[in-house]
């Protein structure tokens, strides 16, 4: 019997970084060897080359690489001088790094709810969060929409609201680089956009890394200074308080090779997600990509009826199929963040989603027999 048939319970990976590594093979080895030969480990030529390719990929005027997705969120807030007394609106249903950067600079995250269908920040809840911020005597300065699980947030509605309220829009595209909204690429949808190259992301490297995208020349110049200790004309001239937030040359070399296959991987991820949805839509609440948008499927996340998740996860685990819960607790319920304000009316959707979501294995190298194994196990676990 084929190892991938229904009877197999051999463990499969949730994200198969090794399969991509096999595909890239010598190209990555040689790219890393070139860095080992020229020894410019900090801000070497690959960093500038990666930035040029990233900017070209999404059509942004500037791509500024940095040490992580978290730094990619932190640096624009620092550049804007956001700090104590300021409010930054964040969704409650996200990875907590989105709010962490706000708290780290002494500003106050104010949590907004998300939309039931896209899981992304609900523009009407942003309005309520702004009102909440003002009631707490905070100045609303920015909003961080998150493109959760790979699908862009509603930047048209958010942008209109931000212009009216004079808010800076910082897209958290840690999960969505490569996606589009009305034929515009992520990286061009907000005043600045942050992405992550954490290995498990759709465009991951072999360590930490991130990038910021913007069309704003002045902001880009400040970001380039901030990521190198606030340097001015040369490295011993310091004009602002910054940090060591540089992208590693070795990781830039890896990124350049990964970008070459990224468009094909995006197509593969989308094909797999659509196939999952076709074969699961009659038994589970499958993810929806809203009109005019594409997703890069950082996660393929279904919803189960309240109280069914633990049994479902155990049933799949018994079949060798890993699942993950993104995220079991909304950020405003986390011990570190529960003291910060939430939008008037509360975050009922974020709280419900945290109880009901579960993600299935998703990566570009999932073959059809393995997909079928996951689909059949999912159906059985739900129907039993
Ligand atoms: C939504 C979101 N924001 C920010 C981050 C932080 O990125 P990094 O781990 O590269 O610092 C992540 C990564 O997990 C994320 O998923």
* Helical pair 26-38 and 249-280, crossing angle rounded to 10 deg: 160
pLDDT of residue 10 exceeding 60? yes
Q: Quick one: pLDDT at residue 89?
A: 98
Question: Ligand 1 pocket: which of 75, 145, 170, 174 to mutate (most atoms <8 Å of CB)?
Answer: 174
- The token duo for 46 is 């690959």
State the distance from the centre of ligand 1 to the C-alpha of 234, rounded, in angstroms.
Answer: 31
- The token duo for 255 is 């990124």
Quick: pLDDT tens for 82-141.
Answer: 999 999 999 999 999 999 999 999 999 999 999 999 999 999 999 999 999 999 999 999
* Range of lowest pLDDT (9-23, 137-151, 155-169): 9-23
CA 82 centroid distance within chain: 22
Question: Is 146 touching ligand 1 by the criterion CB < 6 Å?
Answer: yes
- Give the model's confidence band at 235: pLDDT under 50 very low, under 70 low, under 90 confident, else very high: confident
The per-residue pLDDT of the chain, averaged, comes to 96
Q: How far apart are CA 38 and CA 348, in angstroms?
A: 54
**Radius of gyration of the chain from its Cα atoms, rounded to whole angstroms:** 21
Percent of the chain scoring above 90 in pLDDT: 96
Question: Is 257 touching ligand 1 by the criterion CB < 6 Å?
Answer: no
Residue labelled with tokens 């009826």:
305
State the distance from the centre of ligand 1 to the C-alpha of 95, rounded, in angstroms.
Answer: 7
- Give the model's confidence band at 7: pLDDT under 50 very low, under 70 low, under 90 confident, else very high: low
pLDDT of residue 58 exceeding 50? yes
38, with CB counted inside 10 A (0-12, 13-18, 19+), is exposed
Question: Is 210 touching ligand 1 by the criterion CB < 6 Å?
Answer: yes
Question: Is 154 touching ligand 1 by the criterion CB < 6 Å?
Answer: no
State the distance from the centre of ligand 1 to the C-alpha of 99, rounded, in angstroms.
Answer: 11
Q: How far apart are CA 320 and CA 334, in angstroms?
A: 30
State the distance from the centre of ligand 1 to the C-alpha of 97, rounded, in angstroms.
Answer: 6
262: Cβ–Cβ under 8 A, 6 or more apart, which residues?
Answer: 57, 178, 202, 203
**DSSP 3-state of 320:** coil
pLDDT of residue 370 exceeding 50? yes
Nearest to 144 by CA among 179, 181, 194: 194
Q: Contact, 214 vs 193, CB < 8 A? A: yes
Residue labelled with tokens 């676990």:
381
Q: Contact, 89 vs 107, CB < 8 A? A: no
Nearest to 31 by CA among 233, 337, 260, 247: 260
pLDDT of residue 341 exceeding 70? yes
Q: How far apart are CA 317 and CA 202, in angstroms?
A: 24
State the distance from the centre of ligand 1 to the C-alpha of 149, rounded, in angstroms.
Answer: 11
Rounded average pLDDT over 222-244: 96
Q: How far apart are CA 109 and CA 122, in angstroms?
A: 16
What residue's CA is closest to ligand 1, atom 14? Answer: 95
**DSSP 3-state of 106:** coil
CA distances from 134 to 102, 111, 128, 384 (A): 17, 13, 10, 50
- Give the model's confidence band at 4: pLDDT under 50 very low, under 70 low, under 90 confident, else very high: very low
Rounded average pLDDT over 161-168: 97
Nearest to 252 by CA among 43, 7, 18, 37: 43
Q: Quick one: pLDDT at residue 292?
A: 95
pLDDT of residue 188 exceeding 90? yes
- Give the model's confidence band at 5: pLDDT under 50 very low, under 70 low, under 90 confident, else very high: very low
Quick: pLDDT tens for 201-230.
Answer: 999 999 999 999 999 999 999 999 999 999
Q: Quick one: pLDDT at residue 8?
A: 84
- Helices then strands, counting H and E runs in the chain, come out as 12, 11
- Give the model's confidence band at 312: pLDDT under 50 very low, under 70 low, under 90 confident, else very high: very high
Question: Is 364 touching ligand 1 by the criterion CB < 6 Å?
Answer: no
Rounded average pLDDT over 162-177: 98
What residue's CA is closest to ligand 1, atom 13? Answer: 174
pLDDT of residue 1 exceeding 60? no
pLDDT of residue 384 exceeding 90? no
Nearest to 90 by CA among 5, 7, 169, 195: 169
Question: Is 69 touching ligand 1 by the criterion CB < 6 Å?
Answer: yes
């Amino acid at each position: 019997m084929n190892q991938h048939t229904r009877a197999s319970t051999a463990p499969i990976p949730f994200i198969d970084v090794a399969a991509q590594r096999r595909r890239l093979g010598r190209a990555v080895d040689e790219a890393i060897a070139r860095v080992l030969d020229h020894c410019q480990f900090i801000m070497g030529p690959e960093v500038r080359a990666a930035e040029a390719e990233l900017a070209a990929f999404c059509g942004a005027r500037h791509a500024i690489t940095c040490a992580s997705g978290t730094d990619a969120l932190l640096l624009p807030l620092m550049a804007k001088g956001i700090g104590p007394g300021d409010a930054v609106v964040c969704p409650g249903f996200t990875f907590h790094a989105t709010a962490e950067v706000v708290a780290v600079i002494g500003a106050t995250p104010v949590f907004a709810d998300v939309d039931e269908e896209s899981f992304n920040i609900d523009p009407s809840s942003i309005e309520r969060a702004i009102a909440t911020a003002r009631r707490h005597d905070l100045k609303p300065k920015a909003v961080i929409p998150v493109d959760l699980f790979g699908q862009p947030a509603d930047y048209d509605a958010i942008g209109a609201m931000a212009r009216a309220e004079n808010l800076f829009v910082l897209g958290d595209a840690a999960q969505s680089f490569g996606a589009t909204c009305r034929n515009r690429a992520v990286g061009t949808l907000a005043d600045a956009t942050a992405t992550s190259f954490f290995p498990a992301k759709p465009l991951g490297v072999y360590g930490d890394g991130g990038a910021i995208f913007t069309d704003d020349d002045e902001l880009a110049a400040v970001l380039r200074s901030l990521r190198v200790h606030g340097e001015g004309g040369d490295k011993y001239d310091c004009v602002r308080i910054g940090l060591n937030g540089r992208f590693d040359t070795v990781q830039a070399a890896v990124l350049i090779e990964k970008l070459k296959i990224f468009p094909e991987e995006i197509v593969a991820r989308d094909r797999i997600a659509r196939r999952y949805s076709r074969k699961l839509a009659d038994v589970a609440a499958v993810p929806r990509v809203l009109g005019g948008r594409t997703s890069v499927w950082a996660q393929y996340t279904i919803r189960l009826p309240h109280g069914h998740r633990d049994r479902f996860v155990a049933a799949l685990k018994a079949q060798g199929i890993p699942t993950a819960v993104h995220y079991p607790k909304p950020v405003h319920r986390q011990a570190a963040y529960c003291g910060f304000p939430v939008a008037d009316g509360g975050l009922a959707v974020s709280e419900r989603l945290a109880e009901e979501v579960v993600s299935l294995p998703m990566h570009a190298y999932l073959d059809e027999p393995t997909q079928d194994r996951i689909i059949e196990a999912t159906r059985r676990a739900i129907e039993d």
